[in-house]
A and B are shown apart, each in its own frame.
Chain A
Amino acid sequence: MAKPKKKKEAEKKPEPARKEGLKEIVRDWRVLILIILLVLSVAAIYPHFENGKFTTALQFGLDLQGGSWLQMSFASEVVGFTSQRSADDLAAALNKRLDADVSQVGPGQLEIRKSFPRNELERAFSAENATLTTYEPGVSRATADDIKRILEQKINTLGTKDARVNLLTPVGTNVVRYVRVELAGVDINTAKSIVGKQGLFEIRIKTVGNQTEHVLFGNAITSVGNPQQDPTRMTWGVPFTLSEQGALDFRNAANQYGAVTDEGNHPISMLLDNVTVFSAPLDPALAKELMTQNVQRLSASTGSGTVGMNQAQTLEIHLRAGALPVNVQVANFGQVSAPLGEYFKFMSFIAGVLALLTVGLVIYLRYREPSIVLPMVGTNFAEVIILLGIARFIFQLDLASIAGLIAVVGTGIDQLVVITDEVLHEGKVPSPALYLKRLTRALAIILVAAGTVVFAMLPLALMDLSTLKGFAFITILGVLIGVAITRPAYGKIIMAVLSK
């Protein structure tokens, strides 16, 4: 009991405050973490010269590297309803009444693939003994994923180097309202033609040997459904409908080349831009049916299990030949040329460096003590590097996030000021115990301030619609890194500096 007390008394002595060499500071785990992260970040940013030009591994947004973007809304709604009728029954009735693709997408939810104002749908629903309860322009998640796959496929076939397709959902709903396509290094007219491009789809039939004969083109396909699983055979397939003429052509070909009697030797193949994407014999039951009548509703089955499902999804895209399941309208598009992006990048760099320098100057004017100013500015700089190091893996830096980064510089140093002033209170260098108490108090102020910034930025970080996600992320990340890593390390460093 007596021993610890003695120890405490010894600590209370104002002098000598523990002298720590550089070695000991570096050995402190808080400082160690900071240094390790700093080294890792520099490695991640990987500044190097390539063909005599300075480059890094940082990813830049379109506004800093050049490229174009195209954001589209859907001519479609997802509506909620209540009715005594079954959803399938209602969907079929509405399909006819509205002359639009209507399908169930969830319990009590229908997707209508055509643009209608709310009041028009309300009238149609009440005419079918149902009540419309919710109305959201957009498409269901499943349809949106389809659209995304189709767009990605189109972009991939062109081999465009840096492209991304994002689905955007406004806050407070699960209905996808927009799809955004971003293509680096491409101007807007090229981007538009890539997105709007459709392929040539053809169905052929095998005749004799390796010979095939043309049956019909993609324009004979009037609609393509989502992949479905056969309830008895458990195989996946893509349902599609042929026009009347198409069904007639299909039947004639099947009869003419003998596929109706000998399915196995006359498989039907589907080609997109002259590449075979699907090939299978006629189903015996279908073959029999085709002997006597036209069949408009067909299904191409791929197989069972996940493989079959994935194949069905790909086949669906091929069947559509690049056409999207819903019509789209352009909501937002734009382009930034590479030279302009380069110029913005350069100016942002200048702005960042200047911000660091002016902040350093203000700090110097306040403390006039290099042994305080240098650790402060150094810690601040380290914070920026670590932030960039982490950002490199998560998102692309754009103009707004650079503004966020520079604001982090300004506020990061704020909190270092709070620590320094709190520790230096009354101008005296405190004993370690008092120092710890003050540091805790300073960290409390910082924690609350950090909390307000994080919560203020959170809505923006969660919002899908805005292009400011990166900005919000970098601000929040900056605050978190500050609170968790750089402030505690700075507290340690400044203590060591002051006790000298």
Chain B
Amino acid sequence: MDWFSYDINRYTNVRMLAIPLIIFLLSLLVIGMTYASTGLPVRPGIDFKGGTAVTLSTPDSEDSIRAYFAGFPLEPITRDVSSRLYLLKFTKMSAEKNQQLIDKINARYPDASVDYIDETFGQTLQGQAIIALLFSFLGMAVVVFIAFRTFIPSIAVVSCAFIDMVGTAAGMNVLGIPLTLPTTAALLMLIGYSVDSDILLTMRVLKRQGKLEEKLAGAFRTGIIMTSTTLAAVLSLWIVSGLGQIEVIRDMAAVLLVGLVLDIINTWITNATLLKWYAEKKGS
């Protein structure tokens, strides 16, 4: 069963590559703008810039909560659809002020959840997150190069993963998903998973016998199901966590969704075109 036909030959290589190229350039623009204003490619969340996050389950109205916390550096409140679970974020404040805040929270909302991150600790975490992202990407690239042992197909896979990451980072900025520890984890996951379908594609094209078009189409049939199943799992995760206001999982799922959609484009247009070009050149 095919949902739609996959024919990479309908357009020339250059025209095919135009779509991912435009997305890539737009992504760079978004990231550049964020970098100019925050010093990071993605807007950092509380984990990295410090502050206090509070989750409340209460029948109180938003206005009454805001009034209760007047005098504290409260950012705009978000809440879930049933509007009983509120997410409050406070920017950094002095230690005494922070203790006052905790006392105030525990006095009226003893069942609240609180997470405070000191600014210096946030910076340390940020440094570690960057190290993790770098090494993770390098590790993935090494595995790919060892697996294929040919330069062009390997570099095609690795660059597609890179373009995925850049696009996902831009997507996070557009959707307002901050860079936190959980979303960093989602990005790391994406580094690993986004190359799945690229590997399938490359293996099929390089190692199988047969006509190139058939191999590409066959790889697509399998690959698109692979991505769809992951998308389905992540989508259900996103819906449930979105409805239930589980911020950690919701943000992770959103990042994975953006990355997987971009991965479809980058695998089946960018990587496939590069691979086709390589196979034709080698064959002739």
Contact = CB atoms under 8 A, between A and B. Distances in A.
A and B are partners in one complex rather than unrelated chains: yes
Interface of A: 63, 71, 73, 170-172, 177-178, 187-189, 329-340, 343-344, 347-348, 350-351, 354-355, 357-359, 361-363, 365-366, 368, 399-400, 402-404, 406-407, 409-411, 413-414, 417-418, 421-422, 425, 441, 444-445, 448-449, 451-460, 463, 465-468, 471-472, 475
Nearest to A334: B115
Contact of A361 (B120, B226, B232): B232
A358 B185 CA distance: 23
A214 to B, nearest CB: 36
B249 A403 contact: yes
Contact of A340 (B57, B118, B135, B253): B57
A362 B230 CA distance: 10
Given A187-B110, A455-B143, A351 B249 contact: yes
Contact of B240 (A178, A338, A347, A466): A347
A410 B135 contact: no
Interface in B197-232: 199-200, 203, 207-208, 218, 221-222, 225-232
A403 B253 contact: yes
A267 B186 CA distance: 63
A407 B244 contact: no
Given A411-B196, A463-B132, 17 more contacts: A337-B111, A355-B236, A358-B233, A362-B229, A363-B225, A400-B181, A403-B237, A407-B230, A410-B233, A418-B222, A453-B189, A455-B192, A459-B131, A460-B188, A465-B128, A466-B132, A472-B188
A347 B246 contact: yes
A402 B191 contact: no
Given A400-B248, A400-B252, A445-B199, A187 B106 contact: yes
B124 A170 contact: yes
B114 interface: yes
A414 B229 contact: yes
B136 interface: yes
A468 B184 CA distance: 10
A448 B199 CA distance: 7
Contact of A406 (B127, B136, B237): B237
Secondary structure at chain B's binding surface: helix, strand, loop or mixed? helix
A419 B69 CA distance: 57
B233 A457 contact: no
B57 A339 contact: yes
Q: Which 6 pairs across A and B sit closest by C-beta, in order of nearness?
A: A455-B139, A410-B233, A453-B192, A456-B192, A331-B121, A410-B230
Contacts of B140: 452, 455-456
B235 interface: yes
B75 interface: no
A330 B99 CA distance: 11
Interface of B: 1, 55, 57, 95, 102-103, 106, 110-118, 120-121, 124-125, 127-129, 131-132, 135-137, 139-140, 142-144, 147, 181-182, 184-186, 188-189, 191-193, 195-196, 199-200, 203, 207-208, 218, 221-222, 225-237, 239-241, 244, 246, 248-249, 252-253, 256
B26 to A, nearest CB: 26
Given A354-B236, A468-B182, A330 B135 contact: no
B233 A451 contact: no
A76 to B, nearest CB: 14
19 contacts: A330-B118, A332-B117, A336-B113, A350-B240, A354-B237, A358-B232, A363-B229, A406-B233, A411-B230, A448-B199, A452-B196, A453-B189, A454-B192, A456-B136, A456-B188, A458-B136, A463-B131, A468-B184, A468-B185
Contacts of B111: 337-340
A459 B132 contact: yes
Contacts of A71: 121
A331 B120 contact: yes
Contacts of A331: 117-118, 120-121
B246 A334 contact: no
Contacts of A410: 229-234
B101 to A, nearest CB: 11
B121 A73 contact: yes
A63 B249 CA distance: 12
A351 B232 contact: no
A152 B150 CA distance: 54
Contacts of A468: 181-182, 184-185
Given A187-B106, A351-B237, A455-B140, A475 B196 contact: no
B57 to A, nearest CB: 6
Given A189-B106, A448-B199, A413 B240 contact: no
B110 A344 contact: no
A444 B182 CA distance: 31
B253 A451 contact: no
A442 B174 CA distance: 38
Contact of B1 (A366, A452, A455, A472): A366
B230 A414 contact: yes
Contacts of A418: 200, 222, 226
Of B131, B139, B232, the most chain A CB neighbours within 10 A belong to B232
A409 B234 CA distance: 10
A399 B229 CA distance: 21
B112 A337 contact: yes
Contact of B189 (A337, A348, A351, A457): A457
Contacts of A368: 1
A454 to B, nearest CB: 8
A448 B181 contact: no
B191 A456 contact: yes
A183 B233 CA distance: 33
Contacts of B232: 355, 358-359, 361-362, 410
Contact of B229 (A340, A413, A445): A413
